[in-house]
A and B are shown apart, each in its own frame.
Chain A
Amino acid sequence: MAAAAELALLEKSLGLSKRNKYSARGDRQIPVLQTNNGPSLTGLTTIAAHLVKQANKEYLLGSTAEEKAIVQQWLEYRVTQVDKHSNKDDIRTLLKDLNAYLEDKVYLTGYNFTLADILLYYGLHRFISIFIGVKLTTELP
């Protein structure tokens, strides 16, 4: 899924009525959001966090310092690990690790649904059809 489509989907699920337009930069098609008041924002997770604030749903970024750090950690994981063009072995390891992590959790931060769950879900979507066997559904609300 192209980053712009993903962000549009996020806007919708956040209940944002005003749709933004995104441009893409570079070969990796990194999304860029031109904001009216101020400089543009670049990067999927940066824009996503911005949208969450725009929708007044800051709780999706975590409530405590610990949660906030964990949300950002998994957002980083999404763009560095999940989006990396990996071979099958890497993907298998990645899914195995995630599965182990989620063994005793409902969501990535524990019990609260956050932006990290949304973006990781979008990011993993493309793998799941390939690796049906791996359990990931615990993550889904």
Chain B
Amino acid sequence: MRLFVSEGAPGNLPVLAAAGRVRGRAELLISTVGPEECMVPFLTRPKVPVLQLDSGNYLFSTSSICRYFFLLSGWEQDDLTNQWLEWEATELQPALSAALYCLVVQGKKGEDVLGPVRRALTHIDHSLSRQNCPFLAGETESLADIVLWGALYPLLQDPAYLPEELGALHSWFQTLSTQEPCQRAAETVLKQQGVLALRPYLQKQPQPSPPDESAVTNEPEEEELATLSEEEIAMAVTAWENGLESLPPLRPRQNPVLPVAGERNVLITSALPYVNNVPHLGNIIGCVLSADVFARYSRLRQWNTLYLCGTDEYGTATETKAMEEGLTPQEICDKYHVIHADIYRWFNISFDIFGRTTTPQQTKITQDIFQRLLTRGFVLRDTVEQLRCEHCARFLADRFVEGVCPFCGYEEARGDQCDKCGKLINAIELKKPQCKVCRSCPVVKSSQHLFLDLPKLEKRLEEWLGKTLPGSDWTPNARFIIRSWLRDGLKPRCITRDLKWGTPVPLEGFEDKVFYVWFDATIGYLSITANYTDQWERWWKNPEQVDLYQFMAKDNVPFHGLVFPCSALGTEDNYTLVSHLIATEYLNYEDGKFSKSRGVGVFGDMAQDTGIPADIWRFYLLYIRPEGQDSAFSWADMLLKNNSELLNNLGNFINRAGMFVSKFFGGYVPEMVLTPDDQRLLAHVTLELRHYHQLLEKVRIRDALRSILTISRHGNQYIQVNEPWKRIKGNEADRQRAGTVTGLAVNIAALLSVMLQPYMPTVSTTIQDQLQLPRPACSILLTNFLCTLPAGHQIGTVSPLFQKLENDQIESLKQRFGGGQAKVSPKPEVVETVTTAGPQQIQVLMDEVTKQGNTVRELKAQKADKNQIAAEVAKLLELKKQLALAEGKPLETSKGKKKK
């Protein structure tokens, strides 16, 4: 037989690694062919590696070639290997090709590369660690290992793309990479050039289409049903029988909450939302709601918990907003702070404090930190040249300037980047700059600024990270972001701005400057705590006793994981630093992004007008929490999850369990005589409960929610199989059986009500009221499943918990919140009547132009239908025309540009 390979084809790796298997069994010739040669007569497109068999037939699938080599050596096929290979072909390969193309052909780095494959890597890691075997299909290395290793090797041989928290994957990969056949294949294929050896081949390949749904899938991984040992079952039964007695006394809630020596003290923050934006669902799930679930869970564990947040109020954007609305910045902040507070109250966010950053405490603490950094030599001065609009009497932030691109002459280049040639621009280099607010020409003025000397603090930061990261629950994306910042080297960061609305800089010559958000926004947590209690330092200068969890979306990671720790370390004042940095990915809306300006997406204040209860919103947002990867909000999916998971699964089970107690046993929990099957169920529920705890301790909120639904599914099955409604009409033994099943089921319902508390607090309380669950059992969750509703306990009135969402209801909401209308641009006549459009309208149009530009580029890249492209280009030109009109420019500008 003859194997055809091509230089740099990724498929060579597994094939060559597996080829050793046939040595001495069959003759194998290897020939190298060009990447575009068609070796298989019946395939239109070129494909390598290819194995031509002695029969004349061809194997053109990499895995099948490997499989054939293994089969020749006497190996037998099995289900698990088939499953891995099918997964490799359908899930891993699409993601991997996208990642390799990004890395090798497009030269991208970091998250662009790792993003598409992270889910697949995590899947392998989980499988390895769950089955407790060193290899994918058992105790010895086999076909599945070789195929997956070969696929992953080009990417993972660079340690930057082998996330260190995936320990099981790490050791599996290292083990295989050091084995002789793999090592040799790697040397032959990559020739010590690393992944770039694949370039000549990959360049010739069409760009892989992005792995379609997998990137935004809302389905978490499936967990497998575990096998139980006798001991596990016996322990579960003992714990159950101990019942309410094993609950510790309830911890009284103090005011103010302060750390207590010898206890677990958990300090939780969620990123401070910027005051002048109404938060959308993505913002809500990204920080406050995620942090709320953890705070509630932490309280259920009886940990001493303080959860705080507040509005971030200083900065340019507030000043601009104030100008627009004709209010003072303070008035803007007062107005929007209330809006925020109302939204979070509606979502039932259990803040201990919801404060704000515009307070005297903020000034005091920020200035103190600054002074300490200054005296210790961590602050630099430098002169910065900036554009200043004399008419508006202020320095212009990059996004408030526009002019002619110094590189390509494009007339509408932005202050930081040219949309036409894509080059980065320093705002002062713009030709004919214009203030976007008043259209007058700004002048270059030099201005003194202060910089935080991050390079000087880098060593301390690394030391601290070295102590903090191992064994902590920092999310993978946060680790990755910090690691890549450190790899590129830290640079001094400007911490002052020429603004009025901010914390004043206490230094001579800086009287008309304020601190920049990079420096003082994260200090907000401290000042907010200081406004709550004068003993705030017991939380914030107490790293030995306090465990700090900070929740945010991933764009906020550098502030929290790097800049603030550097400032705090520089002060030498023993600040409490983040122990667990929990960053989410992004939530999209249907197929696009949330956009306030285009009216697309659901914003916090609108959720309450939908008639859908807050707990349903919480449930769905947590169910699709962008944990480990981006996810998407979809109305249709929300309807589906509400009707299937809440109504048919959870609600149905809890309601049935309660109804049986009322209907068949007069509202009193019946005697329970556990059979071995019941004991097995107890142990399964206990196991799932443990799993829930393990996940939430690691802040894997979305996955833990699944455990709740799994238990309820077990419960439904249990009722279905045992049919208490039939047995209750039978003989003595049957009636006793009906009693046991009902009693066990209603106790599972009670357990679920507590597990549900972090996710759906109102529903949780409703269930507990219906079941009359004893007080301590409502507020404490142990790791064992206890009988909290013993025989003879009287329950209350049971009623349904959830309502069905109807199709037309969801359709009309979908219409209302857009997505569909976004593409309809306003008619030009309308724009013409607006003589001077406000900066906001201009921004809207600019966004649309950018978006439409991207659409056109994408279509061209996909080589789409010409008419379709032409239609989209026409739309783009129309939008540009509107933009020119809105900005008060004569229409000729676009033509004049071409003449030059």
Contact = CB atoms under 8 A, between A and B. Distances in A.
Q: Interface centre among B57, B86, B214, by most A CB within 10 Å? A: B86
Given A42-B222, A69-B68, A96 B87 contact: no
Contact of A26 (B55, B86, B213): B213
Contact of A70 (B57, B86, B222): B57
B43 interface: yes
B59 A69 contact: yes
Interface string B856-880: 0000000000000000000000000
Top 8 A-B residue pairs of the complex, sorted by shortest distance between their CB atoms? A73-B64, A69-B68, A65-B71, A27-B213, A100-B42, A43-B86, A101-B42, A46-B83
B213 A73 contact: no
Interface in B51-91: 53, 55, 57, 59-61, 63-65, 67-68, 71-72, 77, 79, 82-83, 85-87, 89-90
B212 interface: yes
A40 B222 contact: yes
A81 B152 CA distance: 21
B890 interface: no
B733 interface: no
Given A73-B59, A97-B44, A100-B41, 18 more contacts: A26-B213, A27-B214, A40-B224, A43-B82, A43-B87, A45-B82, A53-B79, A65-B72, A66-B68, A68-B67, A68-B71, A72-B82, A72-B85, A79-B90, A80-B90, A93-B44, A93-B45, A110-B57
B864 to A, nearest CB: 10
B511 interface: no
11 contacts: A25-B222, A26-B213, A27-B213, A40-B224, A43-B83, A46-B83, A49-B79, A72-B63, A76-B85, A76-B86, A93-B44
Interface in A115-133: none
B90 A41 contact: no
- On chain B, which size bracket covers the interface? 35 or more
A66 B222 contact: no
Interface string A10-25: 0000000000000001
A76 B65 CA distance: 12
Interface string A26-57: 11101010100001111111100110010000
Nearest to A65: B71
A72 B212 contact: no
B219 interface: yes
A80 B42 CA distance: 18
B83 A42 contact: yes
B86 A46 contact: yes
A79 B89 contact: yes
Contacts, number: 102
A61 interface: yes
Interface string A83-100: 001000000010011001
Contact of A50 (B79, B85, B225): B79
Nearest to B75: A65
Interface of B: 41-45, 53, 55, 57, 59-61, 63-65, 67-68, 71-72, 77, 79, 82-83, 85-87, 89-90, 93, 212-214, 217-219, 222, 224-225
B90 to A, nearest CB: 5
A70 B63 CA distance: 11
B856 to A, nearest CB: 19
B61 A73 contact: yes
A73 B50 CA distance: 12
Contacts of B68: 65-66, 68-69
Contacts of A26: 213-214, 217, 219
A48 to B, nearest CB: 9
A28 B213 CA distance: 8
Contacts of B224: 39-40
A50 B86 CA distance: 13
A41 B59 contact: no
B59 A45 contact: no
Contacts of A97: 42-44
Nearest to A69: B68
A96 B45 CA distance: 11
B68 to A, nearest CB: 4
A77 B42 CA distance: 14
A77 B85 CA distance: 12
B89 A76 contact: yes
Nearest to B74: A65
B82 A46 contact: yes
Contacts of B55: 66
Contacts of A76: 61, 63-64, 85-86, 89
Contacts of A80: 89-90, 93
Contacts of A101: 42
A53 B79 CA distance: 10
A49 B83 CA distance: 10
B82 A66 contact: no
A76 B87 CA distance: 10
Nearest to A110: B57
Contact of A27 (B71, B87, B90, B219): B219
A25 B224 CA distance: 13
Contacts of B83: 41-43, 46
A118 B77 CA distance: 20
A60 B214 CA distance: 32
Nearest to B862: A87
Contacts of A25: 219, 222
A140 B1 CA distance: 30
A32 B222 contact: yes
A39 B212 CA distance: 28
B42 A43 contact: no
A69 B64 contact: yes
A2 to B, nearest CB: 16
B238 to A, nearest CB: 28
Contact of B82 (A34, A49, A85): A49
Nearest to A105: B57
B48 to A, nearest CB: 15
A21 to B, nearest CB: 12
B212 A79 contact: no
Contact of A72 (B67, B93, B219): B67
A42 B90 CA distance: 12
B41 A61 contact: no
A49 B78 CA distance: 9
A75 B90 CA distance: 11
B591 to A, nearest CB: 13
A100 B219 CA distance: 40
B85 to A, nearest CB: 7
A96 B82 contact: no
A70 B87 contact: no
B297 to A, nearest CB: 27
B885 to A, nearest CB: 38
A34 B41 CA distance: 41
A43 B144 CA distance: 15
B217 A27 contact: yes
A100 B82 CA distance: 28
A7 B364 CA distance: 69
A112 to B, nearest CB: 13
A65 B55 CA distance: 12
B53 A43 contact: no
A59 to B, nearest CB: 13
Nearest to A40: B224
Contacts of A96: 44
Given A42-B87, A50-B79, A72-B67, A66 B57 contact: yes
A53 to B, nearest CB: 8
A110 B134 CA distance: 39
Nearest to B63: A76
B165 to A, nearest CB: 24
